[in-house]
A and B are shown apart, each in its own frame.
Chain A
Amino acid sequence: MIPALSVEDLTVKYRNGPGPVTAVREVSLEIQPGEVHGLVGESGSGKTTLALAVMRHLPEQAVITSGSIRVDGQELIGLSPERLRPIWGSQIAMVPQDPLSALNPTLRIGKQLSERFEALSRSDARDKAIELLEMVQIADPARVARSYPHQISGGMQQRVMIAMALSAEPKLLILDEPTTGLDSTTEAVVLDLIRELMRARQTATLYVSHSLGVIAQFADRLTVLYASELVEHGSKMDLFENPLHPYTCGLLDSVPRLGENKREIQLRSIEGRIPSLEDLPSACVFAPRCPVVIDICQETRPALEGAGATRQVRCYRWEETRAGEIDPRQPPAPPPLERPTIAETALQIENLEVRYDQPRSLAEWLRRSPRQSVRAVDNVRLTIRKGETLGLVGESGSGKTSLAQAVVGLVDSAEGRVELFGAELPTQIKHRDRETLSRLQMVMQNPDEALNPYLTVGQSLSRPLALLRGIHSEEEVRRLLEGVRLPPEYADRYPAQLSAGEKQRVAIARAFAAMPGLVLLDEPVSSLDVSVQASILNLLNRLQTEHGTSLLLISHDISVVGYMSETVGVLYLGQLMELAPSENLFDPPYHPYTEALLSAIPLLDPKATQERVRLRGGIPSSLEPPSGCPFHTRCPRFIGDICIEQTPPWQEDKTGKRIFCHIPVSDLRREQGQVFAMRKRE
């Protein structure tokens, strides 16, 4: 059989900067018709470059210096753009990461779908577009065909891209992180669709992703890239069950799995940083971070060796790993110190409501019509005890960021009461005194925005020390750096000289510099690479136990929230749906929305089982929130008019879980099974 894709010894270099930089080094892979091949890697691994090279659509500065790329037997290297054009139109197609920017904002969807079929008449082209939209299960295809990209939701946009890619009937489909920008419940629906279409069509697929969960659920085979190098390659089962390369092991260990909690499992983080392509280690690229590195690893580059008929690995010690003679895994973080539980309340939020006023137009202003406002947070009450973590999980529009901003005092107006260690917090940060400011600190998602690029790390850290604690000492700065495991010489560096993970460490050090009682963490790891996430999570846990700090953690990732927290709140359209102790979060009864969330997460275990609960439609606009239960427009367990007309009650079950729903908890427990089952890891 001719493989749908065969890449041999492909090397791609970038010519920008002083010398050529290798982005993909001698990579080979093969995809058979009907097979889904996962390509996993972090930033700088070369996965995107590889995907673009296969499309023969690399940026101008990138050159393929050697190797061969054959699609359905035809060599692509050396073809001119004119010769490539018919191949793009029919043999290979790609679904990119961000569908909105991949669609032309000024052309109707139908036109963009059908323009490839140049011979069709106007009405045939319209029918074709509608047929394609039906294929990707869009409910109202005629309307969508007439729409412009910005008028439809992200999930729909991605379906349009899928339809567009498949309309070419390609031999090879490249999916480049196709669901990364989507909310998890939407992602689940789109993934279902992709899976169904691929089963039906048997199209060979290269699935590029940083998410191991998606790969575990999707791929037949997979290739792991690290710092331009193919490090391991094999069937999904082999790689997930018995990873042979220390990096693969590390990657699998460095994200919390759904259902795990810090009390039971310590994450094994890969220490160190991902090497930059400008200065790759000369021999084994993983040597600086490898727990089982030996002398030869730093001298000669290991070869890609066959470890079975369909499996390859690039490591000197894979046989020892397979025989169980060495443990290539990273050491686990030490378990947290036992600390006595203190009943003191750190943060108490009562009936918080945050509204944002919509701007009025000139005409409205003249007519003196009242301002429209959006309710971003509604009726939220929660409590964080001293030394504990409360996690809030929610999709876009859930109000999680507004809630965080209300707590740190960055909203204009908020109703309700927020108390920090028993003292009421003024709504706006400018009314808060210095002591309050030092007791409440925040770490943001993107450390680039949080750190001043013109200040050295030392300067960034000494400012809160001087301002909030009156300390002027380099000794203290060094201690802070040591606390986040950064060497003291980092005090003289500028943010631009640090990796993303290191910047986040500095941001965390700065937050803890003020000796806060409560630290607010807004998606602290979601902009970081997988292998760096675990070390940041471990760091936060350690600092928390050392200082007895309370954490308010906000994230879209229910696995991370469940892992880090003592209590988890689930937010939907600005309201809490459920508030559960994390040990009970993953067991029934669930709030119907939580049930859907848990069922939407691609599990990191190819043998896991999972219920399929899918939500219809998109999240309603917060300008016109649904009446009664805010979830009623999408709820799979909707029980009738009561959900539309009446605000649900808060019910508590005997484990202390609180659910905001009209269905009695006893009924929920009876009807709901365990949403997912996954093997525990030790």
Chain B
Amino acid sequence: MPRYVLRRLGFLLLTLLLTSSIIFAITQVLPGDVARVILGREAGEAALNSLREELGLNDPLPVQYLRWLGNFVQGDWGESFSTRTEVRPLVQQRLGNSLMLAAVTLGIAVPVGIALGVIAGLNENTWVDSVVNVSALSVVGLPEFVTGILLIEIFAFRLGFFPANSSIRPGTNFVEALPMLILPALTASLVLLGYISRMTRVGVIGEISKPYVRTARLKGLSRWSVTYRHVLRNALMPTITVIAISFGWLISGLIVVENVYNYPGLGRLMLFAIDRRDLPLLQAVAMLAVLAFAFANLAADLFYAYLNPKIRLQ
């Protein structure tokens, strides 16, 4: 197991290195001259040049990359072109928001999705299975803004359970934020539910016909023990990967949901950065997105190894 963890960590570092260079490269080829973006259209050539020199924009690209990476690792993420403030506090605060939303979303989607998947899988090809499948698929098919608007209409306007606007202020803690998190989390959950439940269903169906399940049943174990102790552990392995990928999406890809609810998460910040050609901000957000994906995958791999002795005992 220690070797396995080390190997995974090694892969993680390599991935990060590779993606960071890609992020750097892409932000370089984006059209537009940084110096001009900062100084505005009227700036003279001399001023532009001196700013370029100051920012190191005249150095060769690899040097710029290494400098940028070194700074990033040390926590110096630069200054935003558009807000003229430090990038780091801004991004960190948004990351905190995204993490809160992701936690609530997964808290809803994972148990419900797995439960639905198990129920469907155990009742393969019966009406129960069809009901679960059809409803899961129809929800996944709806765009998030449709489900979002629907949820707002029902729970915010008609019933008044939750606020329609989730624009939490900086520094709000989790408990205070929770009511505002429910609706966006529900909207995102609806997307994930379908994936998680379908994956679990396939896993359960795949496992349940295996001979070891027959062994367990013929031992005289109850249906519950057979499902819980034998089937689930093996059936959930593919689901874990889906959850890890979902986590990455929740951190940085939740643009539509964040927009519908006016939620200040990383997704919207990224959109903002792209809009303003704000390179330092964009780089920081993109790096965080990659980090979130990479760590979620690492966690999935480790959990997978924990469940699967063939990997754990290598």
Binding site for B on A (CB under 8 A): 55, 57, 81, 85-90, 92-94, 96, 98, 101-107, 115-116, 148, 150-151, 161, 164, 168, 361-363
A414 to B222, CA, bound (A): 55
User: Contacts A96-B215, A107-B229 given; 11 further ones with Cβ under 8 A?
Assistant: A57-B214, A96-B214, A102-B211, A104-B215, A104-B216, A104-B233, A105-B308, A105-B309, A115-B221, A115-B225, A151-B313
Q: Closest chain A residue to B220 by CB distance?
A: A89
- The 4 tightest CB contacts between A and B, nearest first, are A89-B220, A148-B309, A101-B211, A88-B220
Interface: B7 (CB within 8 A): yes
B218 part of interface (Cβ distance < 8 Å): yes
Residues A93 and B218 in contact, CB atoms below 8 Å apart = yes
A148 to B230, CA, bound (A): 14
Within 8 Å CB of B220, what residues of A? Answer: 85-90, 116, 168
Query: Measured between alpha carbons, how far is A89 from B222 in the docked complex, in Å?
Result: 10
Chain B stretch 189-208: residues in CB contact (< 8 A) with chain A: none
Is A102 in contact with B221, judged by CB distance below 8 angstroms?
A: no
Q: Chain B residues near A362 (CB, 8 Å)?
A: 7, 10
The residues of B that contact A86 with a CB separation of less than 8 Å are: 220
On chain A, the residues within 8 Å of B63 by CB distance are none
Q: Residues of A contacting B233 with CB < 8 Å? A: 104, 106-107
* Bound: A488/B297 CA distance, A: 59
Whether A57 contacts B234 by the Cβ 8 Å rule is no
Taking CB atoms, residues of chain A closer than 8 Å to B313 are: 148, 151
CB distance from B173 to the nearest CB of A (A): 39
Given A88-B220, A89-B219, A116-B219; A361-B7 close (CB under 8 Å): yes
Within the complex, the shortest CB–CB distance from B8 to chain A, in Å, comes to 12
Which B residues are CB-close (under 8 A) to A106?
A: 233-234, 307-309
Residues on the A chain within 8 Å of B212, using CB: 101-105
Binary contact track B303-314/A, C-beta < 8 Å → 1, others 0: 000011110010
B211 adjacent to A57 (CB under 8 Å): no
Q: How far is the CA of A101 from the CA of B216 in the complex (A)?
A: 12
**Contact indicator A88/B234 (Cβ below 8 Å):** no
CB contacts (< 8 Å) of B7 on chain A: these are: 361-363
Chain B residues with CB under 8 Å of A116's CB are 219-221
- Complex contacts, B158 vs chain A, CB 8 Å: none
Q: How far is the CA of A74 from the CA of B65 in the complex (A)?
A: 79
Contact pattern, B 1-30, Cβ under 8 Å of A = 1, otherwise 0? 000000100100000000000000000000
B52 at the interface (CB under 8 A from A): no
Give the one of B215, B218, B225 with max A CB within 10 A: B218
Q: Which single member of A94, A98, A115 contacts B218 (CB below 8 Å)?
A: A94
Secondary structure at chain B's binding surface: helix, strand, loop or mixed? Answer: helix
Q: B307: nearest residue on chain A (CB-CB)?
A: A106
Residues of chain A within 8 A (CB-CB) of B215 are 96, 102-104, 161, 164
Contact A105 B219 (CB under 8 A): no
Bound-complex Cα distance A93 to B214 (A): 11
B119 to chain A, nearest CB (A): 18
Residues on B with C-beta less than 8 A from A161 are 215
A102 contact set on B, CB distance < 8 A: 211-212, 214-215
Smallest beta-carbon distance B296→chain A, Å: 22
Q: Which B residues touch A148, using CB under 8 A?
A: 309-310, 313
CB-defined interface of B273-314 with A at 8 Å, one 1/0 digit per residue? 000000000000000000000000000000000011110010
Q: Pick from B214, B222, B225 the residue with the most CB of A within 10 Å.
A: B214
Asked if B217 lies at the interface with its beta carbon under 8 angstroms from chain A, I say yes
B295 to chain A, nearest CB (A): 20
Residues from chain A with Cβ under 8 Å of B229 in the complex: 107, 115
Q: Which residues of A contact B218 (CB under 8 A)?
A: 55, 57, 88, 92-94
Q: Interface readout for B214-245 with A: 1 if CB under 8 Å, 0 if not?
A: 11111111110100011001100000000000
B211 interface neighbour in A93, A96, A107, Cβ under 8 Å: A96
Residues in B neighbouring A85, C-beta threshold 8 A:
220-222
Bound complex: CA A362 to CA B218 (Å): 44
- Measured in the bound complex, the distance between the Cα atoms of B221 and A346 in whole Å is 61
Specify which chain A residues have a CB less than 8 angstroms from the CB of B307 in the assembled complex: 106
CB neighbours of B219 from chain A (8 A): 88-89, 115-116, 164, 168
With CB as the reference atom, state the residue of chain B lying closest to A174.
B218
Identify the closest chain A residue to B222 (Cβ): A85
Chain B positions within 8 Å of A168 at CB level: 219-220
* B60, chain A: closest CB distance, angstroms: 28
Q: Which residues of A contact B222 (CB under 8 A)?
A: 85
Interchain CA distance A486-B210 in the complex, whole Å: 38
B214 contacts A104, C-beta separation under 8 Å = no
Q: Which partner residue on chain B sits nearest A93 by CB separation?
A: B218
A107 is contacted by which of B10, B214, B230, B310 (Cβ under 8 Å)?
Answer: B230
Chain A residues in 8 Å Cβ range of B221: 85, 89, 115-116
Give chain A residues whose Cβ lies under 8 Å from the Cβ of B308. 105-106
Q: Roughly how many angstroms separate A89 CA and B220 CA in the complex, as a whole number?
A: 4
Task: Please name all residues of chain A whose beta carbon is closer than 8 Å to the beta carbon of B309 when the two chains form the complex.
Answer: 105-106, 148, 150
Distance (whole angstroms) from the CB of B125 to the closest CB of chain A: 9
Contact A105 B310 (CB under 8 A): yes
In whole angstroms, how far apart are the Cα atoms of A366 and B123 in the complex? 50
- List 10 interface pairs A-B (beta carbons < 8 Å), by A numbering: A85-B221, A88-B219, A90-B220, A106-B233, A107-B233, A115-B219, A116-B221, A150-B310, A168-B219, A361-B7
Among residues of A, the one whose C-beta sits closest to the C-beta of B209 is A59
Note all chain B residues with C-beta closer than 8 A to A93: 218
Shortest C-beta distance, B231 to chain A (Å), equals 9
Q: Which residues of B contact A87 (CB under 8 A)?
A: 220
Once the chains are docked, how many angstroms separate the CA of A85 from the CA of B229? 17
- Which of A57, A102, A161, A363 has the most chain B CB atoms inside 10 A of its CB? A102
Q: Name which of A92, A98, A105 has the most chain B CB atoms within 10 A of its CB.
A: A105
